[in-house]
Structure 1
Amino acid sequence: MWGIEARNAAIANHYFAVGINRIGTETYPNEFTSGNNKKAHNDFGHFYGSSYVAAPDGSRTPPLSRTRDGLLITELDLNMCQQIKDVWGFTMTGRHSLYADLLKKYASLDFIPQQVSANNAKK
């Protein structure tokens, strides 16, 4: 999935998108649970690098290393954003008023978000 996440965002939004990931393992002084009914742990797991840049036409750069730090430098043709918008026209069928209504609802001071935790999950 990692190899297509930023590509999907770039295509859907007609902009360049960057999939950013680091390498190595991160640990914390305090244990925590991940809500998956497994034992508490203090590591966040391994990070696999492979950062890349995706273009609005779905193309992408080769990824960086999965095991070594790296720096990705690439050229972007920003005119491609408008060219792809003109050809594919995804935004013409967008239902932006629905997004505005949802944003207004979720940004209101009295909004109570749904909370999912191990305590109220079905067993």
Structure 2
Amino acid sequence: MTVGLVQQQNSADTSDNLKKLEHNIRQCAQQGAELVVLQELHNSLYFCQTEDTSQFDLAEPIPGPSTEYFGNIARELSIVLVTSLFERRAAGIYHNTAVVLEKDGSIAGKYRKMHIPDDPAYYEKFYFTPGDLGFNPIETSAGKLGVLICWDQWYPEAARLMALAGADLLIYPTAIGWESTDLADEQQRQQDAWVISQRGHAVANGLPVVSVNRVGHETDPSEQTNGIRFWGHSFVTGPQGEILVTASSDKEENLIAEIDLAHSENVRRIWPFFRDRRIDAFGDLTKRFRD
């Protein structure tokens, strides 16, 4: 399967962001992509750097304007498209939601972000209600997609549950970067940890992983910090953690990767981690902490 990744820098002009996204999606499709994945909250700036009730105006229903817009693109290009939207479910209930669009433009399924961070410059708990759709792959013509979102990528349980439910690959739309006061060695440690954790999910579950990050600097409207420099570095890894393609940390790029889904079967035969799991001894995983 040919997969396209769109690593993009956004502006405050949503209409410009949408036009750029469409251009990049078309470029991926022209290079043969059957599945195209966009970064987290791709329509706008990353608005979670501050707690501002006016930002809820960015949210929209699903189905809604964005699913119609991107659905038309998916239908025209005959691709499966993974989008990442700010969902307005009801007054006071909003989600960070990935919506997968089928080749005919219809909604194949959606996933609501389960793990919600609350850190300086990442005040997501103010905006997003935790997901309630569970860890269920989305069935598409491109395979069963285990779509998770950003902060979910640090949790092996989320990846494992998607794999146990039959996901063919794991997909992580992402918005992660450095605060500008981070020293160079700390920046490298953070980025390395991010890559290692996702490569670990690939190895532990015998599945390819597709991770698509934002890129570029976005200022903090409150001026309490120096903003976030999103580190890009979008990548695809195979089921043994082998890196197939990687983007830069400072440029907009469209990546194309060839994924052999049949290879996962062979990897699971030689590394039968699922066979050897001690499910009889894992009950304590449902506890917050073992005192």
**TM-score (normalised: structure 2):** 0.29
Higher RCO (CA 8 Å, separation ≥ 6 residues): 1
1:31-70 deviations in whole A, cap 9, x for unaligned?
6xxxxxxxx4262x21121111000122112311222111
Match of 2:225 among 38, 41, 50: 41
Q: Which runs of 5+ in 2 are unaligned?
A: 1-191
Per the alignment, residue 7 of structure 1 pairs with 199
Please list, as runs of the form range in 1=range in 2, the aligned pairs for 1:82-97 lying within 5 A after superposition: 82-97=265-280
Match of 1:74 among 257, 261, 283: 257
Aligned length: 97
In structure 2, do the counterparts of structure 1 residues 28 and 97 end up closer, same or farther at CA, with 3 Å as the change threshold? farther
Query: Equivalents in 2 of 1:5, 1:77: separation in Å?
Result: 22
Q: CA deviation at 1:29?
A: 2.6
Could you tell me whether the CA contact under 8 Å between 1:30 and 1:42 is conserved in 2? no
Could you tell me whether the CA contact under 8 Å between 1:6 and 1:17 is conserved in 2? yes
Question: Share of identical aligned residues, percent?
Answer: 34
Per the alignment, residue 218 of structure 2 pairs with 26
Q: CA RMSD in A?
A: 2.5
| Structure 1 residue matching 2:265: 3-state secondary structure | helix
Match of 1:17 among 201, 206, 209: 209
Query: Equivalents in 2 of 1:84, 1:14: separation in Å?
Result: 6
The structure that has the greater radius of gyration is: 1
In structure 2, do the counterparts of structure 1 residues 30 and 58 end up closer, same or farther at CA, with 3 Å as the change threshold? same
Could you tell me whether the CA contact under 8 Å between 1:18 and 1:54 is conserved in 2? yes
Q: CA deviation at 1:20?
A: 2.5
